[in-house]
Amino acid sequence: MNEEVLTKAKADLKLNLLNAEAESLSSSDLYMWLIDSGLSSEVAIRLKNFADVTENVTDHAISIGKIVLLKIVDFIKLHPNLAIGIAVGAAIGALVSLIPFLGVYLAPVVASISATIGAIAGHRIDKIEQGQTVNTSTDIIAIGQDAIEIAKEFFKLLAEIFNAVFNEQVLSFRV
């Protein structure tokens, strides 16, 4: 397969295209969709707050919160048979791992139960990658591990875009 090399300018273009798509959605609509899909209001309200995070890229405001949330929604839609709590937990686990600077803003969501499952599963994946032994039971945590691996693949392009654009500039997010 002929893979496209993601340069800084290409990443910037893709980020602007994602932003234009995300900008047409309101954070309230996203919140309602998450609630209707069965996500707990505690997690949904924290995600809604996260949707308001923006960042300036060359004097142009980019709604990174909405972009990320939109992609999480896409991930949930792509896996309709995965419990929404697990899907959101896995998505956040993968995003924090792939795009470290998002960790600060997603921390409140990580505190929720579903995300904790994701966090533990993520911790196990990290241990495996470091060659350490982990508990290999086939319980809900193990399902979370699989879900995070699926999510990491799904969010790979988004992570490449974010890291290419934001790694070179001083982050000054505002909510």
Partner 1 sequence: MATPKPTKEKLLQMIDRLERNPEDKIRILGDTGITLIGAGLGVAASSVIATTAGATSIFGITTVASWLGVTAIAATPVGWVVGCATAAGALAYGVSRLIHNGGLAEGRKKELIQKYKEDAKQIEIKENSNGVTDLDKTNFVLSIRDLIEKDIISPEDATKLINYVEQGKIFLSHAYKLLKNLLEENK
Residues at the contact surface with partner 1, assessed by CB under 8 A: 4, 7-10, 12-14, 16-17, 20-21, 23-24, 58, 60
| 12 and 52 Cβ atoms separated by less than 8 Å | no
Q: How far apart are CB 36 and partner 1 at their closest, in Å?
A: 20
Angle between helix 84-98 and 156-166 (nearest 10):
40
- Total count of residues recorded for the chain: 175
User: In the complex with partner 1, which residue's Cβ is closer, 15 or 34?
Assistant: 15
Cα distances (angstroms) measured from residue 16 to each of 28, 54, 57, 118 = 22, 13, 10, 30
Q: How far apart are CB 157 and partner 1 at their closest, in Å?
A: 12
Q: How far apart are CB 14 and partner 1 at their closest, in Å?
A: 7
User: In the complex with partner 1, which residue's Cβ is closer, 7 or 167?
Assistant: 7
Q: How far apart are CB 7 and partner 1 at their closest, in Å?
A: 5
User: In the complex with partner 1, which residue's Cβ is closer, 25 or 35?
Assistant: 25
Q: Where are the beta strands (DSSP E) in the chain?
A: 55-57, 60-62
